[in-house]
Chain A
Amino acid sequence: MLIQILNAVQLSMLIFLLAVGLTFIFGIMRVINLAHGALYSLGAYLGVVVVDVTGSFLLALIVAPLLVAVVGGLLQIFAIGPLTARGRNELEIALLTFGLMYISIGVLETLFGKDYLSIALPNAMAGSVDVFGVSYPIYRLFIIAVGLLTALCISLFIERTIVGAAVRACVDNKPMSESLGMNTDWVLAGVFAVGSGLAALGGVIMAPVLSVFPHMGSSVLILSLIVVVIGGMGSLKGSFYGSLIVGLTDTLTQSYLPQLTMFAVYIILVLVMLTRPHGLFGRPAHSL
């Protein structure tokens, strides 16, 4: 049981790494970035390349997210930003990112083939440790730690720093923030970059545990989208608790109610939609 819960938390942390970027991008721009799963895959592939070339997993853990963060920032500055400014609505942008997702899958297939790749576990983290009497892989604990640390850093950053306050202001009321003289373009590019970087971090970190293949982003993306809806769009708290709910449900049904796998998460989603259409931590949008 304990092992299952640890596994569930580990999956939750992975989902959180994607969901947090999605939810902030949505909160500010009302745009859902369907290429987010592709950024995750891209991170994993870059990780594979860096490990191949240098042999250092630690380097991969740093380089891949940084590169993908740049890609994300550029995506916002040169594609999504200008198109939004030219009057494309939120759904058209979603379709654009949908197309980008396919393109990236196609590019990855062309460059790396459809085969499954992976990264060898770094030696330092290959073993297992004793957790309350059960033996558990160190590396999986490391994943949990990275997830929790990320959540902590983001919430401190958002609550305590001036840039974080700017992000909060943009989530709350973007036109108002603009009229107060805030450069929302930079906030957006920044949020996009950080969100993309975190998705890529998820990709690298999972590469030693899961296999790396062009479509790897799709299933994680769907889980993160569900988290964003369950937690409430634009809510940091929602994305964290939503990830835990989805991760726990998915892992625990897989081990204890296997006939419900693939369904349980959706049942929760439907229940949340029927009772709280704006998500657990979301607020209805200002209208009228």
Chain B
Amino acid sequence: MTALKVEALSKRFGGLRVLENVTFSIPTGARHALLGPNGAGKTTLINVVSGWLRPDSGKIEIYDEDTTGLPVEKLVKRGLARSFQRNSAIGDLSVLENLCLACHAILPGHANLWRDRASYAQPIDRATETAAWMGLDKVLHRSARELSYGEKRQLEVALAMCSKPRLLLLDEPAAGTSPGERGRLRELIKSLPSDISLVMIEHDIDLVFDVCDSATILSYGQVIAQGSRDDIRKSTAVQNAYLGAAHA
């Protein structure tokens, strides 16, 4: 079964072609990397797939359902979750409250104005579990603003995981982290359940080749190569366009 299928996707900003005829698909349970130099259109692709931008043309299917042009909120219900390049947790709230917010969103009838939110056992349990699994249990009651940078990145992934995704999009999960923090994130990403399909943008090539089994390379909005990890490693086109210039 294909988890994500992108067909002939194009997107322009004014005269600038950010995505041109992008086609790729990944099977369920895949660990797929989106690679390419800055400005290649990787984040735009994630934004289009996750409903933040409408494509000019092309088609997107998530688990064989056409989701082209669906708004962000509806895609979450279809099992899509994403993280952001910039930390997006709510700084005023604690780690637990942030995760509860995320778990609460997928609860049926969540828009309750009257019930005490402390009385919802299920989202709180799931939030606590997720925090423990993501190594955030020691900072559960600290406000998200006070976390270390690495912990903030962990929280970013944890927030996406709370939506119970079938398809998870991570936008540079390890960006700006120290080597130690990166190792920790790498282990966390590797420990994701195998039935979750993952698409990840990341500049750290070692991390990418450790975590991912396949990749698509974008350059100036076009797919210049795709294939398994080993294909990509060998491809000279890739080395010229990207790997040679990579020093992240």
A interface residues (Cβ-Cβ under 8 A, vs B) = 288
Chain B interface residue number, banded:
under 10
Report the separation of the CA atoms of residues A288 and B47 in the bound assembly, to the nearest whole angstrom.
Answer: 8
Chain A residue contacts of B47, Cβ below 8 A = 288
Report the separation of the CA atoms of residues A288 and B50 in the bound assembly, to the nearest whole angstrom.
Answer: 12
0/1 per residue, B49-61, Cβ < 8 Å to A?
0001100000000
The majority secondary structure among interface residues of chain A is loop
Report the separation of the CA atoms of residues A288 and B52 in the bound assembly, to the nearest whole angstrom.
Answer: 8
Of all chain B residues, the one with the shortest Cβ separation from A286 is B13
What are 4 contact pairs spanning A and B, CB under 8 A? A288-B43, A288-B47, A288-B52, A288-B53
Chain B residue contacts of A288, Cβ below 8 A = 43, 47, 52-53
Report the separation of the CA atoms of residues A288 and B11 in the bound assembly, to the nearest whole angstrom.
Answer: 14
Chain A residue contacts of B43, Cβ below 8 A = 288
Report the separation of the CA atoms of residues A288 and B82 in the bound assembly, to the nearest whole angstrom.
Answer: 13
Report the separation of the CA atoms of residues A137 and B47 in the bound assembly, to the nearest whole angstrom.
Answer: 59
Of all chain A residues, the one with the shortest Cβ separation from B13 is A286
Within the complex, the shortest CB–CB distance from B159 to chain A, in Å, comes to 17
Within the complex, the shortest CB–CB distance from A286 to chain B, in Å, comes to 9
Report the separation of the CA atoms of residues A288 and B85 in the bound assembly, to the nearest whole angstrom.
Answer: 10
0/1 per residue, B153-173, Cβ < 8 Å to A?
000000000000000000000
Of all chain A residues, the one with the shortest Cβ separation from B43 is A288
Report the separation of the CA atoms of residues A288 and B43 in the bound assembly, to the nearest whole angstrom.
Answer: 9
| Nearest 4 A/B pairs, CB to CB | A288-B47, A288-B52, A288-B53, A288-B43
Of all chain B residues, the one with the shortest Cβ separation from A287 is B52
Within the complex, the shortest CB–CB distance from A282 to chain B, in Å, comes to 15
Residues of chain B in range 7-63 having any CB-CB distance to chain A below 8 Å: 43, 47, 52-53
Report the separation of the CA atoms of residues A288 and B45 in the bound assembly, to the nearest whole angstrom.
Answer: 12
Report the separation of the CA atoms of residues A288 and B53 in the bound assembly, to the nearest whole angstrom.
Answer: 9
Within the complex, the shortest CB–CB distance from A91 to chain B, in Å, comes to 16
0/1 per residue, B131-168, Cβ < 8 Å to A?
00000000000000000000000000000000000000
Report the separation of the CA atoms of residues A288 and B51 in the bound assembly, to the nearest whole angstrom.
Answer: 12
Chain A residue contacts of B53, Cβ below 8 A = 288
Within the complex, the shortest CB–CB distance from B216 to chain A, in Å, comes to 20
